[in-house]
Amino acid sequence: MEFTLIYRGPLPSNGNSNQKQKIRDFLHPQLKELWNHPPLNGKRQWLTPIGSPENQGFTLVEGRSGFNFVALVSNKIWLVTHLSINFLRNGPPGQLISRGGDLDNRLKTLFDALALPNEGQIREAPPSVQMPENFFCLLEDDSLIYSFTVVADRLLDGTRLHPNHLLSTDHPELEVLLLIRVVTKTTELRVLNLDL
């Protein structure tokens, strides 16, 4: 399976729970929409908890701290992923490390935000949905990223997020536009993941 996620907003080094959850909140609608298209639209029963009438004995729903989370790339269906990231940010070429923090720690913030939050993160920054609605994340755990590539360039659109925007920041050097190409791969071929 291949698809692209888009993120526009701040991406700090060593982001805190609130900053990571804002990234998850931004990506959640895109991942939710993905389940309306093949091949996932034929697997919507995976989005129901065990014990519900629609469930057929398997679910990707994971309850944590009173919220239902769904991770597409999961050990439950033997999937891992490669990410190709176009990393567009304010600033001239050649200053990728010095402007906005070092790349490694900014990517660590992103990878943490692509994964399900742990109990402590949920307490500090709960997701933007209410039970029984599912909250969609890309990864069960960021260890399921088996490889990634990053191409960095200057963000040339000249616009900034409006100050009242959910993701606005007083630090323009933190603002990025990310195009995240996701390619899934099976670690074991099973009936559940034949078309993933």
Domain ranges for the chain:
2-193
Q: What region does 182 belong to: left with phi over 0, alpha with psi -120 to 50, or beta? A: beta
pLDDT, position 164: 45
pLDDT, position 93: 59
Distance of CA 61 to the CA centre of its chain: 16
Q: What is the mean pLDDT of residues 30-56?
A: 88
Tokens 């925007």, residue located: 165
Supply the pTM of this predicted model. Answer: 0.88
Edge to edge, what strands does the sheet with 2-10 contain? 2-10, 175-186, 79-89, 145-154
Higher pLDDT, 155 or 161: 155
User: At how many degrees (to 10) do helices 17-34 and 103-114 cross?
Assistant: 50
**Cross-strand bridge partners of residue 113:** none
Environment class of residue 92 by beta-carbon count within 10 Å: exposed (0-12), middle (13-18) or buried (19+)?
exposed
Residue-averaged pLDDT of the chain: 88
Q: Please tell me the distance from the alpha carbon of residue 78 to that of residue 180, in angstroms, as a whole number.
A: 21
Q: What is the mean pLDDT of residues 115-144?
A: 94
Q: What is the mean pLDDT of residues 6-18?
A: 94
pLDDT, position 22: 96
Q: What is the mean pLDDT of residues 134-155?
A: 94
Residue 68 has pLDDT above 70, yes or no: yes
